Structure 1
């Protein structure tokens, strides 16, 4: 066991032992509910999954390759370190390919996504220069948005309206009332 720790704490393996300890601490904290994933998008074939997953694949594989390399080959420390990093990268890159399906990319919502949706007026009235409404996005979240109407329809708090356009200059939505009919009449 002493030889194992000696090899793990000797150059070049120690260079990867420190990141390995960081990865282990990260996952211990994650197990206790601490959210540490910064969301940095990696390049060079490693994107599409959380950074924590990529690093958690790359570092242990590179560490093990470096440990095995230093115990099997004397000397060539820099070459072993570089080779172990290359092995870690290749294994992580191959592992990321099927994992990308578990982490689909979500396009960020655009204001134009609200056009055509029904909203609920939240202010006492809506005029050509004032009004707010609550609208629900496709993901289930809701937003309070600025709304305006061209007519004089009685759009008051609690009334549903249809968002039919977005004014980019004024940064508000145009709304119109939704006609309601008593049952049986059309």
Structure 2
């Protein structure tokens, strides 16, 4: 990947100062500012003019070592509109879960179930056909709540056993830092 778009809301200047135009990483970075929160799908819609071909969405509140090439290959093999990276967790009650058939076709979504029907969770990483943009209204939109439930039959999930940690809490952030420090040889280039 040589072209990256980053949607920014909170402290955008800090991110832009850190990554600049992307040339230090052999890529071009384009920034899309949100004056008010737009949600996961609304942020992508805000970058619509930049997205002129199929694209990958990676949420910024997780750490993973997923093989993006394998996810992209899976997406084109199954010819869905969306492919979701998925992993199994021990306690799915804090996450939205998915149910899928043997081919990987997602048959249902259940948001943060009190009685888990699955332990397969959405990692917040998607490969998307550019045509999805026409189905996302402007303004605040969330993929898991507003968009994906209406697209059953055209969404696939690829189950992966890669390392993944939602770093949305201080506890999980510290645990992830400890994991990376304990496996530093593996993550030296991250």
Give 1 or 2: higher strand fraction. Answer: 2
Same fold (TM over 0.5): no
Shorter-chain-normalised TM-score: which range? under 0.3
TM-score of the two chains, using structure 1 as the length reference: 0.20
TM-score of the two chains, using structure 2 as the length reference: 0.20
* Larger relative contact order (Cα-Cα within 8 Å, sequence gap ≥ 6): 2
Give 1 or 2: higher helix fraction. Answer: 1
